[in-house]
Structure 1
Amino acid sequence: MDPKVSYFQTFIIAAKTKSFSKAAKRLGITQGTVSNHIAALEKFFDAQLFLRTPEGVDLTPEGEILFERAEKILDLINEAKMLMRAIHENPEGVIRIYASTTPGEHVLPSIIKEYKNQYKNVDFEITITDSKNCYKALEEGLADIIAVGYLKNENYDYTIIGKDRLVLIVPPNHPFTKREYVRLEDILKEDFIDREEGSGTRETFIKALNEKGYSIMDLNIVMRLGSSSAVITAVSEGYGISIVSEIPAKKAENAGLVKIVPIVDFDVVRYLYLIKSKRPKNPSAVKSFWEFVNR
């Protein structure tokens, strides 16, 4: 078995005190433990390191060689620890994030802005894509962190960064705007604008439809688009209705582009997640950002 760092520390104290018992007392361990540490080093180096004397122990020539270098080894280890601590306290470099539309465009920016007020030397490389590609980037090592609207399974190292609701949006002049609410079956009769396959919003929507006894095939889909902003634009121009995240939907409604209409029998709530890679490219920066988000 290779020796541990603590064995070298034991060796140095024993060499300086010229006594296993004094070394044990200074280190707060038993004399037997000191002997075991020295024996492990002697086995590893295939050399006798100490000679026993009436007064205690003296270094052998081999022990002298190790003593000179062991102190340097420990000095280098301590220097490395201090440098690593400095990096943790003042991280720098780039964090690669792949994000789906809703968390990437509407949640992450404020989190990153607040983080960078404290850690100015960390930059972010953000790629907006669908959730399927986010997970693919995580698995292929292209992303340090992903931000998505659904969790594939609970084996990931994840944290919740927001709560979202899926809502129905219609053009401002649509007949649904004159109604207090609609039912799910009313939507099935309308031209529907769908998100692309791989979208977290779409995955959540399909799951909720299935739980109500419907499928995506029951919708009258007239087009599929690659982002919530594209869907909102298409709805505002009268191409159909859609189900999107409430966060961008409210912004679009406030701008007069669409109207949100409640669905009385279809209330879908989801969480937004950050998921961390097990092997990030910049561990210290990712660690500081992760701790910041979870503070």
Structure 2
Amino acid sequence: MDQNLSQYKIFYEVAKAGNISKAAKELYISQPAISKAISKLEDSLGLSLFTRSSRGVQLTAEGEVLFEHTKEAFDALERGELELKRIQEFDIGHLRIGVSNTLCKYILLPYLKTFIDQYPHMRITIESQSTAQTLSRLEQQKIDLGLVAEPSVRRDLSFIPVMDIQDIFVTTPSYLENLYLREGRDTDIFETGNIMLLDSSNMTRHHVDEYMAQNHILPRQILEVTTMDLLIEFAKIGLGVACVIKELIQKELDNHTLIEVPLDIPIHRRTIGFAYHPSNQTTALKTFLEFLY
């Protein structure tokens, strides 16, 4: 499009008014300036857009075609302006969040409840996915925010810590007692027990695998599970020894439904927080970050 947008605006207003003087009043510019802009537009297009008479102007067939397109364009711009005004008036925006099922259920939901109470008109999309996918989509700026364990490599992302978590191994008292009866109390639980872990694609699993490798722990029998909730439930029915997040099962530990398996060296703690791309300047993200602080 070689023409200045203002020329199309002038053409549009003249076509609507059917009169140059009326369009001049609408646009707050002189009639000669309007006539000049229309002539320039016609010259650049190589077409006559209006027929002139003492009663005003009338669109030519070609002018009618152009008017329909400019009407769609300016109507779309007007709708956009109204939408922005509505966003400002009602705190409406679109916040896209990436999070794993576990972190969504146990950590994100309480934050969202309070946030929605304060900003009830905010549109929120939750992408339930692995931490690796969330980090990738943050880098590509396809989502605004991710609730993740603090990555070892920041990848140019900003990170706001929320809480520390501790990975531990737990089981039921009865499972542990039966294991001792069968294998002896000096048994190595990791060699003789049924060790339940998240599947190998999970970032938590990578963290635990790294710990076990560093401490020369080699489980002989591993049951892989897709979600933390399933791990907890399998542990509670006495299916084996599960590696879970301590903060998620504090109730079970307190009432002795589950007991913690002692480790010579504890698994080092992780930090959970909100990650975002610092170049993201959307109103929705700014609003949520202000809410966090």
Q: CA deviation at 1:149?
A: 1.9
Match of 1:284 in 2: 283
The counterpart of 1:202, out of the listed 200, 205, 220, is 205
Matches of 2:227 and 2:256, distance apart in 1: 19
Check whether the contact 2:192–2:221 (CA below 8 A) recurs between aligned residues.
Answer: no
Letter of the 1:161 counterpart: V
Letter of the 1:194 counterpart: L
Match of 2:158 in 1: 157
Match of 2:95 in 1: 95
Check whether the contact 2:103–2:147 (CA below 8 A) recurs between aligned residues.
Answer: yes
Q: How does 1:184-199 map to 2 (within 5 A)?
A: 186-199=189-202
Q: How does 1:1-295 map to 2 (within 5 A)?
A: 87=87, 91-154=91-154, 155-175=156-176, 186-212=189-215, 214=216, 218-253=218-253, 258-277=258-277, 283-293=282-292, 295=293
Letter of the 1:197 counterpart: S
1:184–1:113 CA distance, 2 compared to 1 (3 A):
farther
Matches of 1:286 and 1:143, distance apart in 2: 10
Secondary structure of the residue aligned to 1:163 is strand
Matches of 2:271 and 2:187, distance apart in 1: 22
Check whether the contact 1:228–1:248 (CA below 8 A) recurs between aligned residues.
Answer: no
Check whether the contact 1:100–1:200 (CA below 8 A) recurs between aligned residues.
Answer: no
Secondary structure of the residue aligned to 1:173 is helix
Matches of 1:231 and 1:169, distance apart in 2: 10
Match of 2:70 in 1: none
Q: CA deviation at 1:268?
A: 2.4
Deviation sequence 1:204-253 (CA, Å, 0-9, x none) = 212322332x26xx122432111100111222233221211112222444
TM-score, with normalisation over the residues of structure 2? 0.60
Matches of 1:134 and 1:184, distance apart in 2: 40
Matches of 1:114 and 1:291, distance apart in 2: 13
TM-score, with normalisation over the residues of structure 1? 0.60
Q: CA deviation at 1:138?
A: 2.5
Aligned CA RMSD, in angstroms, stands at: 3.7
Matches of 1:252 and 1:129, distance apart in 2: 27
Secondary structure of the residue aligned to 1:137 is helix
Range with greater deviation from structure 2 (134-143 or 233-242): 134-143
Secondary structure of the residue aligned to 1:143 is coil
Q: CA deviation at 1:88?
A: 6.4
Q: CA deviation at 1:99?
A: 0.8
Deviation sequence 1:117-159 (CA, Å, 0-9, x none) = 2212113222333212222333444422111124141221111
Check whether the contact 1:194–1:221 (CA below 8 A) recurs between aligned residues.
Answer: no
Matches of 1:159 and 1:206, distance apart in 2: 26
Check whether the contact 1:176–1:261 (CA below 8 A) recurs between aligned residues.
Answer: no
Identity %, equivalent residues: 15
Letter of the 2:175 counterpart: H
Matches of 1:184 and 1:266, distance apart in 2: 19
1:136–1:158 CA distance, 2 compared to 1 (3 A):
same
Q: CA deviation at 1:278?
A: 5.0
Match of 2:25 in 1: none
Secondary structure of the residue aligned to 1:127 is strand
| Structure 2, unaligned runs of 5 or more | 1-32, 37-79
Q: CA deviation at 1:256?
A: 6.5
Matches of 1:221 and 1:142, distance apart in 2: 39
Q: In the comparison of the two structures, how many residue pairs are matched?
A: 211
1:167–1:84 CA distance, 2 compared to 1 (3 A):
same
Letter of the 1:105 counterpart: K
1:192–1:94 CA distance, 2 compared to 1 (3 A):
same
Q: CA deviation at 1:167?
A: 1.3
Matches of 1:246 and 1:184, distance apart in 2: 24
Secondary structure of the residue aligned to 2:231 is helix
